[in-house]
Amino acid sequence: MSSLMKNYGRFNVSFTHGEKAFLYDNNGGKYYDFASGISVTNLGHNFPPVTKAVSEQAQKVIHTSNLYEIELQKILAEKISKASFASQLFFCNSGAEANEAAIKLARLYGNTVHHGKRYKIISMYNSFHGRTYATMGVTAQEKIQKGFTPMPAYNQYIPFNNIDALKDAVSLNDTCAIMLELFQGEGGVMPVDIEFLKEIRRICDEQDILLIIDEVQTGYGRTGCMFAYELYGIEPDIMTLSKAIANGVPMGAVVAKEKAACLFTAGTHGSTFGGNPLACAAAIAVMDEMQSDGFLQRVQEKGKKLKEYLKNNLPESCIVKGEGLLIGVKTPFAPKDVVENALKINF
């Protein structure tokens, strides 16, 4: 009997090492890693600059408390801020933690700027923002919430890309934030409609509502841009990051404009491990690579080739969706069966 809890439905394969886009199992099998650890290892396995940065930093100092200055945090925050929008950052350990922090910022905004009159957070059906209690609350999927209800009363859900439902939801003037993914990952690689996003941004500006864009999966080059919001030319007030931020070293971040960021003061939020030197060293190496000449252009080119290949080689019943290397295939087959059959293919 295993000492592990049974909260994962695992496939019967165990990997011992990886190299670039390949993983190797304990029986000598070789596999293409199309999952990338769920969009985490965007630079591939055993990527030399990240491996070098982690190894060298581990020989200096792995962890210090956030009660002290951490120079690598400042360097990383500056790089992300310059690559996104004029912003300030908070570092944590995961996407769920980043979204949790964004929710707290939104509630602080409603309770301070709007004197408690704004408390509601609007999110989308079929979204996924995490499995902590607050992030589960904004994740509008019954299968995620099952067994944990009731959810916090400040959540309201609307259909993705439905402008009429959006207008109805904000009509009571009690909304502090609207939260969404630009491509719903668990929702089936479903892209946001540009007119829907424009309307959200207009309403947020008009009513002083915070726009939170969850880029935990879409960020860090996955869509062919550093961050997916660049595809649409519409900036969020708060952006959440994780997954590929340190190519597998646990890390997350909240990127926020000054009007929201200023509300995090000493004692309002924190993290023991968030932004420690080891994670920051890895994340700096990731940023440097992704901002190198031609990197994002190559992602776009590879994405086009992959989509073209899939469209030309899959049955007509399959629908290929996505942008860059965030690609999904809608099939008439059970996803579990597809994965199990794919795992049988060795190279």
Which domains are present in the chain?
Answer: 53-290 (3.40.640.10)
Cα 28 to Cα 14, 174, 211, 256: the distances in Å are 11, 58, 47, 45
Cα 85 to Cα 208, 281, 288: the distances in Å are 18, 22, 18
If phi > 0 it is left, if psi is from -120 to 50 it is alpha, else beta; for residue 296 that is alpha
Please enumerate in sequence order all residues whose Cβ is within 8 A of that of 126, keeping only pairs 6 or more positions apart, or say none.
140, 141, 160, 184, 186, 187, 188, 190
Gap between the Cα atoms of 177 and 278, Å rounded: 33
190 contacts 184 by C-beta, under 8 angstroms: yes
Summarize the confidence of residues 53-72 as an average pLDDT: 98
- How many C-beta atoms surround the C-beta of residue 95 within 10 A? 29
pLDDT at 347 over 90: no
Please enumerate in sequence order all residues whose Cβ is within 8 A of that of 216, keeping only pairs 6 or more positions apart, or say none.
95, 98, 99, 129, 240, 241, 242, 243, 252
pLDDT digits (tens, 9 = 90+) for 213-263: 999 999 999 999 999 999 999 999 999 999 999 999 999 999 999 999 999
Structure tokens at 145: 């919430």
Structure tokens at 259: 């009007």
pLDDT band at 39 (very low <50, low <70, confident <90, very high): very high
Summarize the confidence of residues 13-18 as an average pLDDT: 96
pLDDT band at 142 (very low <50, low <70, confident <90, very high): very high
Length of the chain equals: 347
Which backbone phi and psi does 228 adopt, to 5 degrees?
A: -65, -25
- pLDDT for 343 equals 87
Instruction: Answer whether the bond into residue 150 is a cis peptide, omega within 30°.
Output: yes
Summarize the confidence of residues 311-318 as an average pLDDT: 94
- pLDDT for 116 equals 95
- pLDDT for 1 equals 79
pLDDT band at 329 (very low <50, low <70, confident <90, very high): very high
- pLDDT for 336 equals 87
pLDDT band at 58 (very low <50, low <70, confident <90, very high): very high
- pLDDT for 186 equals 87
DSSP state of 294: T
Gap between the Cα atoms of 262 and 265, Å rounded: 7
pLDDT at 199 over 90: yes
pLDDT at 269 over 80: yes
Q: Residue 167 belongs to what H/E stretch?
A: helix 163-170
pTM of this prediction? Answer: 0.97
DSSP state of 291: T
Gap between the Cα atoms of 6 and 4, Å rounded: 6
Given the DSSP bridges, would you call strands 183-184 and 155-158 parallel, antiparallel or unpaired? unpaired
